[in-house]
Structure 1
C-alpha cells in the first residue's frame, strides 16, 4: 500500500467521524442528549465528548503537543465538572451522570478542531512513520500506524453507540 493511499483511507475514516458527530446531535434537545437508557448507560452527549477527547489526546501525543481540548479553549467552553485532563477512560456511572452541556453545537465544533489536527498530522506522515514504535509496553510494541487505527476504531465504535442511543430516544414511549 502506498503512503498516499494509506493517508486517503485514514482521512476518509476520520472524515466519517467528523461528519457523524453533528448528524447524531441534529434534532436532539439538550434533555435528549443527556438521556440514558438506564442508570448505568452512557448518553449521547458523553459518548460524543469521549470519542472526540480520546482522538484529541492520542493525536496530541503523536504530534507531541497539548490536546486542543486545552489549547483551543474547549475545556472552558464545555465547562464540564471534570479536571481538564479528563477524557472519559475509567469514569464511573456517577461521573457520566454529572456531564452537562448547554450548547449542543459544541460537539461539532470540538470534533472539527480535532479533525483538522488529525488530518494535518496524517498529511505529514511518510511510509517509515507508520512503522515507528511509540509504546514498547505491549507485545508486539505499538507503532504509529497501529495507534492511528486504534483511535479510528474507538471513535467509530463510540459514534455507533451514540447513533444507537439516538435511535432509542426516538423509540421511547
Structure 2
C-alpha cells in the first residue's frame, strides 16, 4: 500500500461517516441543535466540507468546488461567501440551515471526488512541499492533509453523535 492509497482511504472513511450521519434525516433533524450553543448536523457537515474544500483546493492550486460548481448560491447562507465556519459564533452556526440531506451530501460528495482525485496523484516526495508559510514551522502538504483528515473525522463523528442524540429524544 502506498501513501496515495492510504490518504484516499482516509477520505473514503470521512465520506462514509458523513453519509451515515446525514442520510435519511429530515430538514428539522439536520438543522436541530441539542441546545442553543451546540452545532447542528447541517453546520458540522457544511463546515467540515468547506474546510476540506478550502484547504485541498489551496494545496492543489485549483478553485474551490464551493465556487467552481456554485454551491455557495445553492446554500444561500447569510454571511461572507468564502466563510468556512472557522471561528463562527453560535448565532452564525444557527444560520447554517439546509432544506435537504441531498444538498449537504451533494456538496460533500463533489468535494470528496475532487479531494480523492488530488491525493491519488501524490507521491511521498509531494508531501514535503510547503503549502503554508504562515506557521512556524511552515506547513507541509502532508501535515495539511493529516490536519484536514483529523478535523473532518472529528466533526463527522460529532454529527453522528448528534444524530444518535436526536433519535433517542
Distance, in Å, in 2 between the alignment partners of 1:8 and 1:123 is 6
CA contact (8 A) 2:30 2:40 kept: yes
Segment of structure 1 superposing worse, 146-155 or 17-26: 17-26
- State the number of aligned residues: 169
In structure 1, runs of 5+ residues without a counterpart are none
Give, in angstroms, the shift of residue 50 of structure 1.
0.3
Partners of 2:6 and 2:121 in 1: how far apart?
A: 15
Query: What SS does the corresponding residue of 1:134 show, helix, strand or coil?
Result: strand
**Pick from 144, 149, 153: which aligns with 1:147?**
144
2:79 to 82, 85, 99: 82
Answer with 150-159 or 132-141: which moved more: 132-141
Query: Could you tell me which residue of structure 1 aligns to residue 50 of structure 2?
Result: 53
Contact 2:5–2:120 (Cα < 8 Å) also in 1: no
Cα deviation, residue 121, structure 1: 1.0
Question: Would you identify which runs of 4 or more consecutive aligned residues in structure 1 move more than 3 Å?
Answer: none
Distance in 2 (alpha carbons) for counterparts of 1:77 and 1:22: 19
The yes-or-no answer on 1:16 pairing with 2:13 is: yes
Structure 2: which 5+ residue stretches go unaligned?
none
Whether contact under 8 Å (1:46, 1:99) holds in the other structure is yes
Hey, what's the Cα distance between the residues in 2 that align with 1:128 and 1:26? 38
Contact 1:44 1:162 in 2 (8 A): yes
Alignment match of 2:38 (pick from 30, 37, 41): 41
Q: What are the equivalent positions in structure 2 for 1:91-130 lying under 5 Å apart?
A: 91-130=88-127
Quick check: 1:21–1:107 contact (8 Å CA) kept in 2? no
Give the CA RMSD over aligned residues.
Answer: 1.3
Contact preservation (8 Å) 1:30, 1:102: yes
Whole-Å Cα distance in 2 between the matches of residues 126 and 32 of structure 1?
Answer: 41
Shift of 1:120: 1.3
- Does the residue aligned with 1:13 lie in a helix, a strand or coil? helix
Larger deviation, residues 147-156 vs 80-89: 80-89
Is residue 2:33 matched to residue 1:30? no
